[in-house]
Amino acid sequence: MSSKKYNMWLQYQPILNTTCKKHYQKMLTTLYVNGNAPTIQSAEQELTDAIFTMLGQRITSKSDMDHATIVIGNIEEISSLLSNDHIARLAEMNEEGYLVIENQGKIIISGNSDAAVLYGVHHLLRNMQLEQDLISLAVFEQPKNQFRMLNQWDNLNGSVERGYSGKSIFYQNGKIVKDKTRIKDYARYLSSVGINAISINNVNVWEEESYFITKKYLPEIREIADIFRAYGITLYLSINFASPMTIDGMSTADPLNQSVQNWWKDKIAEIYHYIPDFGGFIVKADSENRPGPFTYNRDHADGANMLAKAFEPYGGKVIWRCFVYNHLQDWRDRTTDRARAAYDHFKPLDGKFHENVILQIKNGPMDFQVREGVSPLIGAMPNTNQMIEFQVAQEYTGQQIDLCYLLPQWKQILQFDTYIKGAGTTIAEIVAGTIHTYKYSGIAAVSNIGGDDENWTGNTLAQANLYGYGRLIWNPDLSAEEIAQEWIVQTFGNKKEVSNTLGEMLLNSWEIYENYTAPLGVGWMVTPGVHYGPNIDGYEYSKWGGTYHFADRDGVGVDRTKETGTGFTTQYAEPNQNLYNDVSKCPDELLLFFHHVPYKYTLKNSKTIIQHIYDTHFKGFEQVEDLIKKWDSLADLIDEERFKNVQNRLKQQKNNAREWRDQINTYFYRKSGVADKQNRAIY
């Protein structure tokens, strides 16, 4: 497959600026490649293909470095071309650091590893797509985060949990797909933004998927690992903690049981026989009905360490998810608070985990809501490796029907200062491992792609989230705007009007989505199970815990203060603890997440809660109408297929926004009895 919608941000469209094109054509004529590792081969292929498409010329291979206009290769191979200063700067960088330099008409791309060279090639190609000057180029880049991972929530039956782009590209009808072209293409896109790890099956590991770690599936999984390896991406698998029972009928999966430990040792040895650079396991244990160590009165450290020890000889990792909470809560119980759960479960275990265990913690204490506080567990365990988990898939944020560019949210989270080790203890620094000097750390996210939609992401504009995720976690200093602009130009070409209009659309879209959905950080209010569309009381009397808003005729919100509430605020370090605990200080956008307040309470923005609800919901809907106008104005600048795809989604978004607006406004009007000051239609 190759089409504009399929090619995402690697369009490699012909350069239209003629000056620029001539300049590139002149510079990029001959290529010398050092090494023949799969990643280097991928880099060469990408480079030659891209240059042919962009410049209309075939680059010729040279057999010596001196006469080539481009030289690529691992630092060990081509150091002779580099100055001592270059070599020194590369040496200061981590294994994935690269350089792209122009010197007297010759472009040199090198790095501390083969994969780094591939990243360097993509850097050059990105610059070209953005029509930037290559003269005197002197780029030295390394990723901020060690782990830059995607989690596929794909099931063997072909479905994708929380997938909004159709069926899996990995599995179909209970089998691994035979034709793996699309997996290879996916690997290309991921490597182009620096993703270096992937888990290829759902964290909810069902019966048949438990057998992924057996001979029944390993030969084919090896093929997938080979594909990803050629793009610098390490393969991981999600596993069923009770595998010894499910697979081999053992009577227990107790992590302290010797036979169980031996079983895992043998199992892991077997996996490495097939995949020598296998990454490790993702484990969702004792969470939402998944088995885990609790069954045997063991704790999470016992469970994770058993696996970690078995991985030791091979350098494999255990990524242990912290999404552990009581999902059978009685809504009548106002003392239990799901927001507290991850911290309460894991914080006491700090220092007990093996050094190749990494805890993976969702960005917020709840579950990928449009707005919630940052998880207080992140950074709170100085002696335990941690990763943060984002969700590129728009589960609670519009399901790739509604436009919601998530970069501003992720930026905000990464910039959040926890103060755990004083000012500057940001989430970005914690997960980069610079605060507590973790051995392993980084960022993971749930992927948003599928295979029914040729455009990968359902809504073409949702590609921006996948692109932006990779770019941001490579370099968290990039702004959401810079990333948006990079993505727009690569995806739709270099047209000012598209950049301006679409840039504005993307950057406002998270706020717009928030405006017409659950207000002021209270979260949920969505259709249970589906998680799309309004259902204000949908989770109000449910067993899922923490999903309650407690709206009554007087007020709304969840009291999480230490004095009268669940005490969740105490999980934050000062001054955040006080900031959130004190209703007069708490930021408006999180007020209802931390406090139960009267409808007539006045926000920092000088509006009452109730008037704020009305205003944002009327505004949110109008903003969607404006998004439609903006998009329509680009009709002549975007190919019809992608234009219609987005236009169609925006129409659906408008219906959704209308339902949200009217249901939220009606619900709170009926409860509060307070009229809208502007007397707009409430039902």
Pick the closest to residue 233 from 163, 139, 152, 321 (CA basis): 152
- Sole window of 68-76, 104-112, 314-322, 328-336 interacting with a copy of itself (rule: CB under 8 A): 328-336
659 catalytic? Reply is no
The least CB distance from residue 599 to a copy of itself, in Å, is: 11
The least CB distance from residue 617 to a copy of itself, in Å, is: 14
The least CB distance from residue 535 to a copy of itself, in Å, is: 8
The least CB distance from residue 550 to a copy of itself, in Å, is: 8
Q: Which of 208, 223, 482, 659 binds a copy of itself (CB under 8 A)?
A: 659
The least CB distance from residue 659 to a copy of itself, in Å, is: 7
- What is the residue whose two structure tokens read 């150091």? 79
Task: Give CA–CA dist 65/382, Å, rounded.
Answer: 48
Task: Give CA–CA dist 608/520, Å, rounded.
Answer: 12
Task: Give CA–CA dist 260/270, Å, rounded.
Answer: 15
666 binds a copy of itself (CB under 8 A): yes
Based on CB atoms, which residue is closest to a copy of itself, 190 or 664? 664
**Amino acid letter at 449?**
I
Pick the closest to residue 442 from 388, 393, 488 (CA basis): 388
332 binds a copy of itself (CB under 8 A): yes
The least CB distance from residue 516 to a copy of itself, in Å, is: 15
Q: Which of 135, 207, 553, 563 binds a copy of itself (CB under 8 A)?
A: 553
Number of helical H runs and strand E runs in the chain: 20, 18
Task: Give CA–CA dist 154/141, Å, rounded.
Answer: 33
Residues near 412 by beta carbon (within 8 Å), at least 6 away in sequence: none
677 binds a copy of itself (CB under 8 A): no
Pick the closest to residue 418 from 578, 573, 585, 589 (CA basis): 573
Based on CB atoms, which residue is closest to a copy of itself, 79 or 326? 326
Choice among 288, 477, 552, 640 that is catalytic: 288
Pick the closest to residue 287 from 338, 213, 357, 352 (CA basis): 338
Residues near 144 by beta carbon (within 8 Å), at least 6 away in sequence: 428, 432, 473, 474, 475, 476, 477
- Sole window of 63-71, 261-269, 633-641, 655-663 interacting with a copy of itself (rule: CB under 8 A): 655-663
Based on CB atoms, which residue is closest to a copy of itself, 401 or 406? 401
Task: Give CA–CA dist 492/11, Å, rounded.
Answer: 8
Q: Which of 477, 554, 625, 641 binds a copy of itself (CB under 8 A)?
A: 554
The least CB distance from residue 556 to a copy of itself, in Å, is: 10
Q: Six-digit token pair at 356?
A: 């190749």
Based on CB atoms, which residue is closest to a copy of itself, 178 or 332? 332
| Axis crossing angle, helix 463-474 with helix 480-492, rounded to the nearest 10 | 130
179 catalytic? Reply is no
Based on CB atoms, which residue is closest to a copy of itself, 26 or 334? 334
Based on CB atoms, which residue is closest to a copy of itself, 255 or 523? 523
- Sole window of 2-10, 147-155, 377-385, 545-553 interacting with a copy of itself (rule: CB under 8 A): 545-553
- Sole window of 23-31, 446-454, 627-635, 665-673 interacting with a copy of itself (rule: CB under 8 A): 665-673
Q: Which of 246, 608, 653, 672 binds a copy of itself (CB under 8 A)?
A: 672
504 catalytic? Reply is no
Q: Which of 41, 127, 499, 663 binds a copy of itself (CB under 8 A)?
A: 663
Based on CB atoms, which residue is closest to a copy of itself, 417 or 537? 537
Based on CB atoms, which residue is closest to a copy of itself, 572 or 667? 667
Helix (H) or strand (E) holding 107: strand 106-111
680 binds a copy of itself (CB under 8 A): no
- Sole window of 72-80, 364-372, 403-411, 656-664 interacting with a copy of itself (rule: CB under 8 A): 656-664
**φ and ψ at residue 450, rounded to 5 degrees:** -155, 175
Choice among 254, 395, 402, 453 that is catalytic: 395
| Axis crossing angle, helix 218-229 with helix 181-192, rounded to the nearest 10 | 40
Based on CB atoms, which residue is closest to a copy of itself, 260 or 610? 610
Based on CB atoms, which residue is closest to a copy of itself, 430 or 664? 664
- Interacting residues with a copy of itself between 509 and 538 (CB under 8 A): 534-537
CA end-to-end distance (rounded Å), the chain = 49
Task: Give CA–CA dist 404/399, Å, rounded.
Answer: 9
252 binds a copy of itself (CB under 8 A): no
Peptide bond into 575 cis (omega under 30): yes
Question: Rg for the chain (alpha carbons), in Å?
Answer: 26
- Sole window of 92-100, 101-109, 330-338, 587-595 interacting with a copy of itself (rule: CB under 8 A): 330-338
564 binds a copy of itself (CB under 8 A): no
Task: Give CA–CA dist 480/483, Å, rounded.
Answer: 5
Based on CB atoms, which residue is closest to a copy of itself, 594 or 599? 599
Choice among 114, 209, 337, 367 that is catalytic: 367
The least CB distance from residue 620 to a copy of itself, in Å, is: 17
The least CB distance from residue 561 to a copy of itself, in Å, is: 20
Q: What pairs with residue 30 in β-bridges?
A: 60
Task: Give CA–CA dist 512/320, Å, rounded.
Answer: 34
Helix (H, G, I), strand (E, B) or coil at 417: strand
673 binds a copy of itself (CB under 8 A): yes
Task: Give CA–CA dist 212/271, Å, rounded.
Answer: 10
**Amino acid letter at 196?**
N
What is the number of alpha carbons within 13 Å of residue 535 lying toward its C-beta? 15
Q: Six-digit token pair at 444?
A: 């993971």
Q: Which residues are catalytic?
A: 288, 367, 395
Residues that bind a copy of itself (CB under 8 A): 331-332, 334, 534-537, 541, 550-554, 659, 662-663, 666-667, 669-673, 683
